[in-house]
């Protein structure tokens, strides 16, 4: 049985004052029926870990370097995230793939390093609007899965987020049929590559303009085990609505 997960990605948003949102979120969900996670900017990881310490809220990094350490000014290593108290790291978000030219190979290398450091990984994949309109979505997803996932993963240490690039931060959401088609496809691919046991145990999140108002419909789609939420994770009241919808979907 896969546990549902509501994960928030704060991207390059959040100063110390926004820890009040995390306090409010934890107060609103003292005993959540689903797993909760927030990936704040690296500057807030340590303090968010303290804020969340008595609560069931995991804290994640938003990226890490593929090397363990070294001369990489401005980068952050997997061990540093772990040392700061993070339990997970998001890898291969489309904004990293676009802004920093990250390839599937880069994501796979980072994934290996993150797992070796004891972090759990959230690997993001998703097609562009052009790729969807050209009916290439499933080919793109298959390629990203093949290229970005390391061979050593398990259902315990790996989560996959399907995030159509054209739905991120745009307010546009695929149809429920489109979400279901891709999630079922990912599940089939995972079972084929990693075996039924592991393939069935990896959680699949949907990401892209999830809000309290559309969350229930999305969570009813097969093979959707939760959401990776950007904008609507910044305010406790919005994220809380999504968490409640996910709890209702159990």
Residues of this chain that interact with ligand PEP (CB under 6 A) are 9, 163, 168-169, 207-210, 228-232
Which residue numbers are catalytic? 93, 163
Residue with CB nearest ligand PEP? Answer: 230
**Cβ atoms 157, 115 nearer than 8 A:** yes
Q: Nearest distance from residue 188's CB to ligand PEP, in Å?
A: 23
Q: Which is nearer to ligand PEP, 9 or 113 (CB)?
A: 9
Of residues 40 and 194, the one with the C-beta less far from ligand PEP: 40
Nearer to ligand PEP, 180 or 208 (CB): 208
Query: Based on C-alpha coordinates, what's the Rg of the chain?
Result: 17
Backbone torsions φ then ψ of 180, nearest 5 degrees: -60, -40
Closest approach of Cβ 169 to ligand PEP, in Å?
4
Least gap, CB of 118 to ligand PEP (angstroms): 24
Residue with tokens 């997960």: 5
Residue 117 near residue 81, CB atoms below 8 Å = yes
Neighbours of 150 (CB within 10 A): 19
Cβ burial, residue 197 (10 Å; 0-12/13-18/19+)? exposed
């Amino acid at each position: 049985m896969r546990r549902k997960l509501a994960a928030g990605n704060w991207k390059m948003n959040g100063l110390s004052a926004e820890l009040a949102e995390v306090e409010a979120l934890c107060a609103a969900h003292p005993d959540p029926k689903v797993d909760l996670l927030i990936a704040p900017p690296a500057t807030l990881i340590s303090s968010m870990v303290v804020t969340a310490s008595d609560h069931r809220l995991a804290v994640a990094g938003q990226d890490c370097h593929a090397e363990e350490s070294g001369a990489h000014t401005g980068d952050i290593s997997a061990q540093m995230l772990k040392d700061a108290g993070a339990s997970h790291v998001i890898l291969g978000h489309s904004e990293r793939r676009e802004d920093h030219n990250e390839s599937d190979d880069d994501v796979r290398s980072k994934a290996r390093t993150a797992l070796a450091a004891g972090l759990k990984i959230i690997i993001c994949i998703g097609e562009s609007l052009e790729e969807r309109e050209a009916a290439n979505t499933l080919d793109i997803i298959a390629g990203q899965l093949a290229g970005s996932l390391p061979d050593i993963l398990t259902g315990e240490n790996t989560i996959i987020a399907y995030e159509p690039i054209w739905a991120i931060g745009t307010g546009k959401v695929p149809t429920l049929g489109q979400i279901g088609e891709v999630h079922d496809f990912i599940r089939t691919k995972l079972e084929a590559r990693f075996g039924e046991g592991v393939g069935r145990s990896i959680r699949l999140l949907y990401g892209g303009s999830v809000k309290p108002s559309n969350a229930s419909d999305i969570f009813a789609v097969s093979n959707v085990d939760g959401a990776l939420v950007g904008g609507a994770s910044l305010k406790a009241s919005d994220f809380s609505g999504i968490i409640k919808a996910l709890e209702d979907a159990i």
